[in-house]
Amino acid sequence: KKVTGFSDEKIKGSGKGETFWSLGTEGSPSGPTVEFYVDELEVWNLVFNEYVMRDGKYIESELKGVDTGMGLERLAVVMQGESDVYQTDLFAPIISKIEELSGKKYNIASCHSEFDSESLSDGIPKQVRDDNIRAFRIITDHIRAAIALISDGVIPANKDQGYILRRLIRRAIIKGKQIGIEKNFCAEFSDSDKVKRDLDAEETKFRKNIESGLKIIESQTEFSSKVLFDLYQTYGIPVEVTVEEANRLGRDISNRAIEQSSNLMREHQELSRTASAGKFKGGLADNKVETTRLHTAAHLLLAALRQVLGPQVQQKGSNITEERLRFDFNHPEKLTQEQLSEVEKIVNEKIKANLLVVMEEMSLEEAKKSGATGVFDDRYGEKVKVYSIDNFSREICGGPHVKNTVELGHFKIIKEESSSAGIRRIKAILE
């Protein structure tokens, strides 16, 4: 108070629960906290870490420090004099674009309206208006996050980071439809050609099924786990989105149904993996000379794909016989003939370059640090083999491989097709 000159009204004290910060775990730092508010919006806080928790008690710490954190976007709200973060200069261009695409306005004033009336002055029911504001915010937040993920090499898929990205995009699309956007729009928010392509491809794919899926949600009075599972499996609508849409329509979905639908999805994925393993034998059909040659060619193929399409490309599966190789990799769209020709050209150039294939054994951590690619979800042992082909290809692999690329002959791509959502497949031979 003496330093800031603030009046008593602007400095509020409260109990330990409000002014003392702690994780509550053994060995964690803790201490008194000061929080900074501007017009009741918290923008900053300071934690004076003077204590540490030992055996459930706070004791004075030998190492003291100050932990500080500020909400940058909240600070922008204050500095720019706006009423919410979505009206700051970071989000305003996105909001304006959504207004243009939907023909609706982001009227934040109505969201905080004191009216008890069901409708405001323009006749739009307040609940509808509030739903629209929520839709604007979700689209803005999700599209921004999706662009960041795609820029970092993530593509829409059914698992891991790819599934998070897919959920973000699809939820944004459904919210866009809610406010009247009936055509592809996600790509409108990026200047990157690659990001535009990936967003548009995912939106086009989802829009083929979205109408039928939403009609089913609207027609349901009860949502069983099977309905939730079918909506995702058949129409691509994530369970979280179904729950949100059902709640918006005033219908409840039990936690039990949600949990059981997750179990159904896990069982389905496990059955798919088991069937795939039985059909494709996990990679090499045998260790014949021809199979070994094609195995080495698959390494060159992956390196060439990464050079042409980008470093985000990873192997997603393979099946190699003495006659041909089949190679699956992540990519959101069909490769052009120019891209396929370039990949084929690069592989054949490396074959003709008479390059040695070198094997080294090292720890998995060393292999990763060396830049070796690999399916790191696999359960590798303490020691792994790393096969290198000059400075072009470096992979964690059990082998076998040829000694020199010149042994391979001529590489030829005979087919490129879709394997599954977000996964492409190349079939190739050696002549």
Residue 161: what pLDDT? 86
How many residues are recorded in the chain?
431
d(CA 196, CA 293): 38
Residue 84: what pLDDT? 86
d(CA 327, CA 319): 7
Q: Per residue of the chain (431 residues), what is the pLDDT tens digit?
A: 677 677 777 777 666 667 888 888 888 899 999 888 887 788 888 999 999 999 889 999 998 999 998 888 988 988 998 888 999 999 999 999 999 999 999 876 544 443 344 444 455 566 667 888 999 999 999 999 999 999 988 888 777 788 899 999 999 999 999 899 999 999 999 999 989 999 998 898 888 778 888 888 989 988 999 999 888 877 888 888 898 889 888 888 999 998 998 888 777 666 555 444 444 334 676 667 788 899 999 999 999 999 999 999 999 888 988 889 999 999 989 999 999 999 999 999 999 999 999 999 999 889 888 889 887 545 567 788 999 999 999 999 888 899 999 989 899 999 999 888 889 999 999 88
Token pair recorded at residue 233: 């499996």
d(CA 363, CA 98): 51
d(CA 356, CA 398): 17
Q: Using CB atoms within 10 Å of the CB of residue 377, give its burial: 0 to 12 exposed, 13 to 18 middle, 19+ buried.
A: exposed
Q: Model pTM? A: 0.57
Say how many CA atoms lie within 13 Å of 272 toward its Cβ.
9
Residue 298: what pLDDT? 95
How far are the Cα atoms of 215, 234, 284 from residue 418, in angstroms, in the given order?
29, 18, 21
d(CA 376, CA 364): 9
Strands 29-38 and 41-54 turn out to be: antiparallel
Token pair recorded at residue 236: 């691509």
d(CA 411, CA 301): 9
Residue 338 makes CB contacts below 8 A (sequence gap 6+) with none
Determine contact, residues 241/174, Cβ cutoff 8 Å: yes
Q: Using CB atoms within 10 Å of the CB of residue 405, give its burial: 0 to 12 exposed, 13 to 18 middle, 19+ buried.
A: buried
β-bridge partners, 67: 47
Residue 62 makes CB contacts below 8 A (sequence gap 6+) with none
H or E segment to which residue 126 belongs: helix 126-151
Q: What is the SS3 assignment for 393?
A: strand
The structural domains of the chain, ordered by start, are 8-70 (no CATH), 84-219 (no CATH), 289-430 (3.30.980.10)
Residue 24: what pLDDT? 81
